[in-house]
Structure 1
Amino acid sequence: MQGSLRDKAARGVGWSFIDNIANSGITFLVGLVLARLLTPEEYGIMAMIAIFIAVSDSIIDSGFSNALIRKVDIERIDYNTVFYFNLAVSISLYILLFFASPAISAFFREPVLVDVMRVIGFVLIVNALAIIPRTIFIRNINFKTQTKVSLIASISSGVVGIGMALSGMGVWSLVGQQLSRQLLNTVFLWGYCKWKPIFEFSGKSFKEMFGFGSKLLVSGLLDTIYKDIYYLVIGRFFTSFVLGQYTRAKQFNTIFSSNLTTVVQRVSYPVLSSIQNEPERLREAYRRVIKSTMLVTFACMLGLAAVAKPLIIILIGEKWLPAVGYLQIICFSGMLYPLHAINLNILKVKGRSDLFLKLEIIKKILAIGPIVLGIFLGIECMLWGSVLNSFVAYFLNSYYSADLINYPTVKQIKDILPTFCVSMAVAAVMWGLSFFRLSVYLLLPLQLLLGVSLAYLVYERTAFPEYLELRQVALSFLKRKS
Structure 2
Amino acid sequence: MAESVRSQLLHGVAWNFIEKVLIRGASFFIGIILARLLSPSDYGLMGMLSVFISISSVFIEGGLAKALIQRQNCQDIDYSTAFVANVGMSIGIYWIMFAAAPWIAIFYGEPILVDLTRILSLNFILGSFNIVQRAKLMAKVDFKSLAQINVISTIISGFIGVFMAYYGCGVWALVGQSLCSTLVLIVLFPVYSKWKPSFTFSKKSFCYLFGFGSKLMVTGVYSVVLNNISTICIGKYYRSQQLGFFTRASQFSELISTTSYDVIGNVTFPVLSELQNDVTKLVSVYRKSLFFTAMVIFPIMVLIALLAKPIVIILLTEKWLPCVALMQWLCLARMFTPLSAINMNLLNAVGRSDLFMKLDFSKLPLILVTFAITIPIGVEAIVIGDFVSTFICFFINAYLPGRMFGYGAWGQIKDWRYIFLSLCIMVLSVSTFLHFVTNVWLQLFGGGIIGIIVYMVCCLCFKIVDDDVLKILKIIE
TM-score of the superposed pair, with normalisation by structure 2 = 0.97
Q: Distance in 2 between matches of 1:117 and 1:207?
A: 32
Residues 1:469 and 2:471 are matched in the alignment: no
> 1:9 Cα shift?
1.0
SS at match of 1:376: coil
State whether residues 16 and 267 of structure 1, in contact with CA within 8 Å, keep that contact through their aligned partners in structure 2. Answer: yes
SS at match of 2:413: helix
State whether residues 459 and 465 of structure 2, in contact with CA within 8 Å, keep that contact through their aligned partners in structure 1. Answer: no
Residues 1:344 and 2:344 are matched in the alignment: yes
Q: Distance in 2 between matches of 1:265 and 1:339?
A: 9
State whether residues 425 and 454 of structure 2, in contact with CA within 8 Å, keep that contact through their aligned partners in structure 1. Answer: no
SS at match of 1:321: helix
Runs of 4 or more, structure 1, over 3 Å off, are none
Q: Which position in structure 2 is the counterpart of 1:49?
A: 49
Q: Distance in 2 between matches of 1:285 and 1:341?
A: 15
SS at match of 2:282: helix
State whether residues 223 and 364 of structure 1, in contact with CA within 8 Å, keep that contact through their aligned partners in structure 2. Answer: no
Q: Percent identity?
A: 36
State whether residues 13 and 472 of structure 2, in contact with CA within 8 Å, keep that contact through their aligned partners in structure 1. Answer: no
Which ranges of structure 2 fall in alignment gaps of 5 or more residues? Answer: none
SS at match of 1:111: coil
One-letter code of the match for 1:58?
V
Q: Which position in structure 1 is the counterpart of 2:414?
A: 414
One-letter code of the match for 2:144?
K
Deviates more, 1:212-221 or 1:428-437: 428-437
The number of residue pairs the alignment matches comes to 477
Deviations 1:223-266 (A, max 9, x none): 11111222111100111111000111111112210111122221
SS at match of 2:296: helix
Q: Distance in 1 between matches of 2:152 and 2:107?
A: 37
State whether residues 301 and 335 of structure 1, in contact with CA within 8 Å, keep that contact through their aligned partners in structure 2. Answer: yes
Q: Which position in structure 1 is the counterpart of 2:193?
A: 193
State whether residues 272 and 350 of structure 2, in contact with CA within 8 Å, keep that contact through their aligned partners in structure 1. Answer: no
Deviations 1:345-404 (A, max 9, x none): 111112111111111111133211122222211112211111111122111111101122
Q: Distance in 2 between matches of 1:265 and 1:90?
A: 26
State whether residues 346 and 401 of structure 2, in contact with CA within 8 Å, keep that contact through their aligned partners in structure 1. Answer: yes
Q: Which position in structure 2 is the counterpart of 1:396?
A: 396
> 1:432 Cα shift?
3.2
Q: Which position in structure 2 is the counterpart of 1:245?
A: 245
Residues 1:228 and 2:228 are matched in the alignment: yes
One-letter code of the match for 1:473?
I
State whether residues 329 and 387 of structure 2, in contact with CA within 8 Å, keep that contact through their aligned partners in structure 1. Answer: yes
> 1:24 Cα shift?
3.0
Deviates more, 1:454-463 or 1:109-118: 454-463
Q: Distance in 2 between matches of 1:186 and 1:14?
A: 25
Q: How does 1:73-152 map to 2 (within 5 A)?
A: 73-152=73-152
> 1:465 Cα shift?
4.4
State whether residues 78 and 202 of structure 2, in contact with CA within 8 Å, keep that contact through their aligned partners in structure 1. Answer: yes
> 1:437 Cα shift?
4.2
Residues 1:261 and 2:261 are matched in the alignment: yes
Q: Which position in structure 2 is the counterpart of 1:298?
A: 298
Q: Distance in 2 between matches of 1:409 and 1:456?
A: 25
Q: Which position in structure 2 is the counterpart of 1:35?
A: 35
State whether residues 67 and 209 of structure 2, in contact with CA within 8 Å, keep that contact through their aligned partners in structure 1. Answer: yes
State whether residues 418 and 462 of structure 2, in contact with CA within 8 Å, keep that contact through their aligned partners in structure 1. Answer: no
Deviates more, 1:345-354 or 1:130-139: 345-354
> 1:143 Cα shift?
0.6
CA RMSD in angstroms, aligned pairs only: 1.4
Q: Distance in 1 between matches of 2:439 and 2:370?
A: 37
Which ranges of structure 1 fall in alignment gaps of 5 or more residues? Answer: none
